Amino acid sequence: MSDLPDAREVYPNAPLKLVVCELRLQLAPGSAAAAAELPLYDEIGDDYPLQGPPDQGFRVDLSPAGPVSTPVRGFRYLTRDKARSVAVSSESLIVETSSYLHFEQFSDQIGDLIDALGRHLKVVSVERIGLRYIDELPIAGLPGQTVEAFFAPSVLACGSEIPGLGEPAEFLSTSSYRLGDDRVAVMRAGLVDQPFVTSNGPLRIPHPSTGPLFVIDIDCSWTAVNTPSLPFERPAITAVLADLHIPVRSLFENTITEKLRNDVLRKEGTPT
């Protein structure tokens, strides 16, 4: 067991591949993410010295002529080992890690980046906070190379045999939980042939998965729909992140069984 504040267990052979935090931002009029690129690097460059591929996407706005798509460009910095990255655009701050230790450490890293970016970019509000954890367990690493007895029956149900067809080669269930007026948790879990997290992204994945594998993909988020938006301030944002982490942990622990904990996750020196 660990000495973390809530005494939760940190598994030595955890199957976690990627953790992502996304803050959806609203900038002040006239503010531009590009203006913060060099000043932010001057401040965090010792920790994030490498320039990575920017996080790119499209913003869709409504106009009298119909929807208008506008490219959204930004910038990304990575740690020297490429195990952590921070990506900034005019719409978001995204922090990713493939070397996750525990939530308190990750939350501190996010908080440090919020403090730093806030000194160089005028952010009016935070409209959404998302926290995503992706776990992957290769079937070849499970005793007996079977999912039976390692995962909750509820997530294995859609993998049941169909008369005349047999068992599905792949299956993926999706569950959505409403956690109040402004929060939701979505989990996808099942047997797939290809990993969700690949080594083609900007981060280095220490132990890339090979299929078939069992994936647990959990995304918990807060959105300012029925509640006011948040200020771009460390205490308010990290408080929401702490609340979102609770259902993340609960969903994961209730998806796996004690047999998986004892036979795989608590084993030292056998990375999944």
Q: Tell me which residue range forms the domain holding 242.
A: 16-265
The answer to whether position 202 is within a domain reads yes
Tokens at 166, concatenated: 């047999």
Q: How many domains does the chain have?
A: 1
- Beta strands per DSSP E along 46-122: 50-52, 57-63, 66-72, 74-78, 84-89, 92-97
In what helix (H) or strand (E) does residue 217 lie, and over which residues does it extend? strand 213-223
Rounded Cα distance between 68 and 45, Å, is: 36
User: Residue 126 domain-assigned?
Assistant: yes
Decide if 152 contacts 254 (C-beta within 8 A).
yes
Look at residue 5 and tell me if it is in a domain.
no
**Position 6 in a domain:** no
Q: 154 lies in a domain?
A: yes
Burial classification of residue 181, based on how many CB atoms lie within 10 Å of its CB (0-12 exposed, 13-18 middle, 19 or more buried): exposed
Residue 233 placed within a domain: yes
Residue 8 lies in a domain: no
The pLDDT profile of the chain, 272 residues, written as one tens digit per residue, is: 445 666 788 999 999 999 999 999 999 999 999 999 999 999 999 999 999 988 654 444 444 555 544 456 799 999 999 999 999 999 999 999 999 999 999 999 999 999 999 999 999 999 999 999 999 999 999 999 889 899 999 999 988 888 988 888 899 999 999 998 899 999 999 999 999 998 888 999 998 998 899 999 999 999 998 889 999 999 999 999 999 999 999 999 999 999 999 999 998 765 55
Q: Is 138 a member of any domain? A: yes
**DSSP state letters, 148-185:** TTTB-HHHHGGG--BTTTBS-S-EEEEEEEE-SSSEEE
